[in-house]
Chain A
Amino acid sequence: MALTIGVLALQGAFIEHEAMLHRLGVRTVEVRKPEHLAGLDGLILPGGESTTMGLVAECWGLVAPLKAWVQAGKPIWGTCAGMILLANRAIGQKAGGQPLIGGLDVTVSRNYFGRQNESFETFLRVPRLGEEPVRAVFIRAPAIVEVGSDVEALARVAGRGEEVVVAVQQANILATAFHPELTDDLRWHQLFIEMVEVQKGRGDLNLERVERTC
């Protein structure tokens, strides 16, 4: 049976992810409410503004089901803002903090590379994806500055006087600081689909106790 992957569609570049998945023959669902999570094989948290997504997710009672998704061991991939939402620790949040989903044992630094004028393109060496370097677009991007012991670093770039990690996998969680959905390279989406195929049907999701906060 064909896979169905949800893309969190509260704000940001969710249509771009859907277009990539469609090219790979995967069905997609836009997730705006907790009930949209039912029956999905995998979930993508797209790029956008993590503060906006966090606030809207909290308002519609999505934070608890998303936490449950991660804890159930179901496959999830966060790009840029999505990676920030998945991180256990974040530096450089807005005043008063922001709601995080967590589960990924890393520390991310928001806007690590700077503001838009420092946004950049580069080619990454990613052994997991093969010999050919992968084009990567970083938009006001975060970086991973601390990696837990169960986390595999998949790609690095030169940061501020140090190398920083920009792509990781930890069991069911994939995270990238950049935007594969803004390029023509389907390899990251393929990698995620492989994770979903392996982990399909893992974990039960209880969507019953959902509370809205606004």
Chain B
Amino acid sequence: MNDSSNRTRNGASEQNDVITGTFAVKVGLAQMLKGGVIMDVVTAEQARIAEEAGACAVMALERVPADIRKDGGVARMSDPRKIKEIIEAVTIPVMAKVRIGHFVEAQILQALGVDYIDESEVLTPADEEHHINKHKFTTPFVCGARDLGEALRRIAEGAAMIRTKGEAGTGNIVEAVRHARAVNGAIRRLRSMDEDELFAYAKEIRAPYSLVKLTAELGRLPVVNFAAGGVATPADAALMMQLGMDGVFVGSGIFKSGNPEKRARAIVMAVTHYNDPQILAEVSEDLGEPMVGVNLDTLSEADKMAVRGW
């Protein structure tokens, strides 16, 4: 860890040396979010609705991805006032997004005291070559990844949590499924490789050998992995859980639907009981209009967010 991120204070008891911002502490919060639903919110009022519905955290942003898509233009970090209002409104952790590579937006979010920073392709990238050096921060980061190589590159840069990069704001789960399967499939192949093959594979997927080896040993990513992008129904959420994800982000899927309270609660229940079709049937009933979906075939390459990030 970088020295600047580890502050040591001496407490009243001599043996209580306290260290903040360690990787264990960063990964630890993500572990506490597992089996839970993190919901996109744009106002303090929505944050309260999310908390009441059982969200384990909220993602504070200015516009949900569906609106970012519709409005076009440059999408940036939210107004700090909005983020502060949301932090004030709830007791659960608050996350917020920064543009890829925009380390000053990240410095601002750390100063505001957000609990997790999402370096997100949903916002317009600020750097087309470099991601943020996340080791420099006390606040942990979550980053999107389409495959194992991308996930391990982000972890090497200091990401303490990974999520799929499903096409945000489309209500279409197909890309998130593709990414989850790509990561899990690659890990399964890793487990059957000998050391010589691991070296070659690390080069092929452009990931550090040490992390490739660690992943092969663990049989899973070394950090928590959530589903994100395109989750619109309880069934979508349970699908991602059965595919081995640790939890679920829901963006436009809740507050762009007919009955946000009910749908939010149903998705929370679906993530807890993801292996129980009887309960899934029950909670999926009568949720009102889902968000209008976007068919990805009709989305031009330029409109796809998942290809952002390197």
* Residues of chain A at the chain B interface (Cβ within 8 Å): 9-16, 32, 47-49, 51-52, 55-56, 59, 80-81, 92-96, 110-111, 115-125, 133, 137-140, 156-158, 162-163, 179, 182, 214
Cross-interface CB contact of A123 among B15, B28, B33, B115, cutoff 8 Å: B15
Q: Tell me the smallest distance from the CB of A12 to a CB of chain B, in Å.
A: 6
A179 contacts B28, CB within 8 Å? yes
Cross-interface CB contact of B272 among A56, A95, A111, A139, cutoff 8 Å: A56
A48 contacts B20, CB within 8 Å? no
Indicate whether B124 reaches chain A with its CB closer than 8 angstroms. Answer: no
A158 contacts B11, CB within 8 Å? yes
B48 contacts A158, CB within 8 Å? no
- Chain B residues contacting A51 (CB-CB under 8 Å) are 51, 54, 91-92
A98 to B282, CA, bound (A): 25
- Chain A residues contacting B296 (CB-CB under 8 Å) are none
Enumerate B1-60 residues with CB–CB distance to A below 8 Å.
Answer: 11-13, 15-22, 24-25, 28-29, 31-36, 48, 51-57
Task: Return the chain A residue nearest B275 by Cβ.
Answer: A32
- Chain A residues contacting B116 (CB-CB under 8 Å) are 116
Cross-interface CB contact of A12 among B24, B35, B51, B54, cutoff 8 Å: B35
A122 contacts B32, CB within 8 Å? no
A27 to B265, CA, bound (A): 32
- Can you show 15 pairs from A to B with CB atoms below 8 A apart? A11-B271, A32-B276, A48-B32, A52-B36, A52-B268, A116-B25, A116-B29, A116-B93, A116-B115, A117-B21, A119-B25, A120-B22, A121-B19, A121-B22, A182-B31
Cross-interface CB contact of A120 among B20, B33, B56, B276, cutoff 8 Å: B20
A56 to B56, CA, bound (A): 11
**Looking at A13, A81, A117, A120, which has the most chain B CB atoms within 10 Å of its CB?**
A117
A48 contacts B18, CB within 8 Å? no
- Chain B residues contacting A14 (CB-CB under 8 Å) are 35
Q: Tell me the smallest distance from the CB of A22 to a CB of chain B, in Å.
A: 15
Cross-interface CB contact of A111 among B31, B33, B56, B91, cutoff 8 Å: B91
Q: Tell me the smallest distance from the CB of A134 to a CB of chain B, in Å.
A: 10
Q: Give 20 new A-B contacts, CB below 8 A, not counting A10-B272, A12-B56, A123-B17.
A: A14-B35, A47-B31, A47-B32, A52-B268, A55-B54, A56-B269, A80-B32, A81-B32, A94-B90, A95-B89, A96-B52, A117-B113, A118-B20, A120-B19, A125-B15, A133-B15, A139-B28, A140-B115, A162-B12, A163-B12
A48 contacts B34, CB within 8 Å? yes
Enumerate B247-274 residues with CB–CB distance to A below 8 Å.
Answer: 265, 268-269, 271-273
